[in-house]
């Protein structure tokens, strides 16, 4: 479980960084990622999404202490990474995003998804009896 704890901590910190950047400097963050600056009225929705990044980041850091007790949070993060990868693939395939913009986030999503599934508390031999 040590590897999973480290992974959850890293995921939590990444979520918090995404949340802070989305909340505090959304225009700079988008432009630095190679995206168009969001219209000012979209910053409202981005701020609400930032709150979710921040809350999930804290939850993952808490889950890192006892991963076996937090399989639902871990599974949900794996699902988020799968959706992130699928959305990146779709928007790249239809030409909305260039591969130079989407490659790094998709690579991260694929690696995190693989490790979360591989090291998750539901694997064979895990001490998880129930998902809570």
Q: Please provide the average confidence, as pLDDT, over all residues in the chain.
A: 92
Distance CA 100, CA 47 (A): 26
* In-domain check, residue 56: yes
Biggest distance spanned by C-alpha atoms of the chain: 50
- The tens digit of pLDDT for each residue in 63-87 reads 999 999 999 999 999 999 999 999 9
Tokens of 49: 């999404």
CA pseudo-torsion sign 59, 63, 69, 75: positive
Please name which of 54, 40, 45, 48 lies closest in space to residue 12, comparing C-alpha atoms: 54
pLDDT band at residue 122, thresholds of 50, 70 and 90?
confident
Q: Which residue has the higher pLDDT, 127 or 1?
A: 1
**How many C-beta atoms lie closer than 10 Å to residue 127's C-beta?**
9
* In-domain check, residue 49: yes
* In-domain check, residue 75: yes
* In-domain check, residue 131: no
* In-domain check, residue 128: no
């Amino acid at each position: 479980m040590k590897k999973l704890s480290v992974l959850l901590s890293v995921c939590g910190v990444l979520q918090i960084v995404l949340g802070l950047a989305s909340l505090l400097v959304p225009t700079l963050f988008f432009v630095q990622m190679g995206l168009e600056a969001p219209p000012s009225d979209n910053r409202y929705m981005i701020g609400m999404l930032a709150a979710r990044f921040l809350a999930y980041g804290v939850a993952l850091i808490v889950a890192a202490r006892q991963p076996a007790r937090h399989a639902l949070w871990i599974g949900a993060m794996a699902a988020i990474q799968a959706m992130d990868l699928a959305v990146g693939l779709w928007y790249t395939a239809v030409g909305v995003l260039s591969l130079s913009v989407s490659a790094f986030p998709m690579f991260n999503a694929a690696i995190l998804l693989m490790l979360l599934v591989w090291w998750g508390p539901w694997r064979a031999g895990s001490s998880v009896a129930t998902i809570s």
